[in-house]
Structure 1
Amino acid sequence: MTPPIEHPLDLTTQAILTWGSWGLTAVVLLVAARLGMREKTPFYVLLILAAMFGAFAEPLYDEGLMLWFYAPGIWSHFTAFGVPQPNWTHSGYAILYGCAAMIITKSIHDGAVSQNSVYIFFALELVMSCVFEIFGINGISGGAYEYWGPHVFRVFNYPLIIGILEATQVICFSLAAVELRRRAKHPAHLLGLFAIFPMTFYAANFGIGGPVIIALHLDAPATSTAFVTFGTLLSIGLVFIVLRMAGNVMMGHVDATRNPAR
């Protein structure tokens, strides 16, 4: 299989993804700033900015999980691994990952979580990912990109494993971010969020998602539906092990972050 290099880009879908996502990003940043002023911390704003900055590493993700942004007419700011990057990746990261992480970390800070909250957060992020990406893939009269590899378990051309891994990495990022906030002695220490985001992002997508990535890239004729299905199911199994662990970690954070000193 080869990437759809010459596939036309639906310009209407591109415009909606660009202006819509950047508009929502401005709203998310305003909400984060208000939360920060209320709690006297730059934590929430930095949480969003860290996710946005992490989009510069999107080409690694595209290469691993076989995502191709349609190039003809793309509003791109750089290209890596031969994949042109649309400028809405940063705003997309802010909405899908930063905003969701803000909801999770705020809930933990307020102690408004239970043992089952991790599954609720997981489902919320999965739904957000499905809505955003199904639109991006299919668009109005055509999409802006596609997962062109031999993925299985697709819904409207969207491989569900993508959303499953995305939801897992947001939970991992949120828990690590809460721990950093609890341990930080100075607001500047919260800049560590810029390092934590790519660490948790690729730990989940390339670590937990390792089996499906390897299955996708096996040399022909080894790559088959059976191999990809097995790799996908194995990654899904690892996800639920991580979620079980994350639920215990989340509850451990509640008491420690109920009345943070910063």
Structure 2
Amino acid sequence: MGAMPNEVMMGELNLVWQNVFTWGSWAIVVVMLVIASKMGVKQKTPFYVLACVAAGLGAFIEPLYDVAFDLWFYDVHNGVAGAMYSHFTAFGIVQPNWSHSGYIILYATACLYAGKMIYEGRMTTKLLFMIWLAEISASCVFEMIGTGMGVYTYYGPYVLRLWNYPLVIGVLEGTQVIIFTVLAVQLWRRVSGHAGLLGLIVLFPMTMLGANAGLGGPIIVALHLSEAEFSQGLIWAGTLLTIALCVIAVKGAALFLPSAPLAVEQRSS
């Protein structure tokens, strides 16, 4: 399927909620950066700030995600286009500038509250799954507001929607958080200097596209089958298979959790 209905392109942008998403999310990011900076000074590492920077820069690949997952940001108000606070357009999809703040909030927060615990070898598989569920819940709340209040929409023939928001998207986003956070900390533990942590900027898009296009492959393909091959049953199959792959991925990420503080590992090696 995949063809965008004209009524979606002409969907009305809610200006009030655009302001909430824009100014509210950037205010949260400012708070996050202050916290990340204080944590970094205390622990003598730029890890937390660079994790936020990596996620923010990663939002420039959002158009690829939009095409794959049938996401459309509303840009029309009272029949006139150009109502969105936008900074660029790609693949015909106008991008909101709050996508960068949204990425930082959704994908970097776990580095702030769980990064040190993972670094020190105190994270358990059970706790990692609890964080995964918490991140899925946070993603659902954030995006249910966006899709429910007229800021953007997922127009594809999804199943398991929560107030217009496809649950499978939240599962994928929560999984991306886990994969990025665990691998980011592993990078942190392995680099010898602060400059090596700039690798986070490369790591983020790799995990973002790897998780969503890889684990999300079944639902992406199901959404974009030709009309002759499309069926709701295949959408269900793609959805459930994607969710199952996410569970496997989080279990796999748990295998990369450090089991001891770095100093102990270095002494025993």
Aligned positions of 1:87-106 closer than 5 A:
87-106=97-116
TM-aligned CA deviation for residue 249 of structure 1: 1.7
1:104, CA displacement in angstroms? 2.5
Where does the alignment leave 5 or more consecutive residues of structure 1 unmatched?
none
Is the 1:109–1:258 contact (alpha carbons within 8 Å) kept by the matching residues of 2? no
Secondary structure (helix, strand or coil) at the match of 1:8 reads coil
1:35 aligns with 2:39: yes
- Measure, in 2, the Cα distance between the counterparts of 1:257 and 1:61: 36
- From 194, 200, 203, give the equivalent of 2:201: 194
Q: Which runs of 5+ in 2 are unaligned?
A: 77-82
Moved over 6 A (4+): 258-261
1:146 Cα deviation after fit: 0.2
> In structure 2, what is the equivalent of residue 82 of structure 1?
92
Aligned to 1:176: 183
Matched with 1:21 is 25
Q: 1:67 to 1:248 in 2, by over 3 A?
A: same
Aligned to 2:58: 54
Contact 2:120 2:261 in 1 (8 A): no
Tell me which of 202, 206, 209 is aligned to 2:213.
Answer: 206
Q: Partner letter of residue 118 of structure 2?
A: I
Deviations 1:103-136 (A, max 9, x none): 2212213444222011111011101101100011
Amino acid at match of 1:95: I
The answer for the alignment partner of 1:255 in structure 2 is: 260
What percent identity do the matched residue pairs reach? Answer: 46
Q: Quote the offset at 1:5 in angstroms.
A: 0.9
1:34-93 superposed Cα distances (whole Å, 9 cap, x missing partner): 110010011100000100000000000000000000012111100001000000000001
Corresponding residue to 1:222 among 229, 234, 238: 229
Instruction: After TM superposition, give the deviation of residue 176 of structure 1 in Å.
Output: 1.0
Among residues 140, 144, 157, which one is paired with 1:130 in the alignment? Answer: 140
Q: Distance in 1 between matches of 2:75 and 2:62?
A: 16
Distance 1:53 1:154 in 2: 29
Q: Check conservation: 1:117, 1:247, Cα contact below 8 A.
A: no
Secondary structure of the corresponding residue to residue 226 of structure 2: coil
Using the alignment, how far apart are the partners of 2:53 and 2:148 within structure 1?
A: 28
- The structural deviation recorded for 1:259 is 7.7
The residue that corresponds to 1:64 in the other structure is 68
Structure 2 residue 19 is matched with structure 1 residue 12: no
CA contact (8 A) 2:144 2:164 kept: yes
Q: How many residues align structurally?
A: 256
Secondary structure of the corresponding residue to residue 116 of structure 1: helix
Aligned mates of 2:139, 2:111 — CA distance in 1: 13
In structure 2, distance between residues paired with 1:249 and 1:185: 19
Secondary structure, aligned partner of 1:79 = strand
| Cα distance, 1:100–1:85 mapped onto 2, change above 3 Å | same
Given the superposition, is the C-alpha separation of residues 187 and 170 from structure 1 closer, same or farther in structure 2, using an over 3 Å criterion? same
Give the TM-score normalised by the residue count of structure 1: 0.94
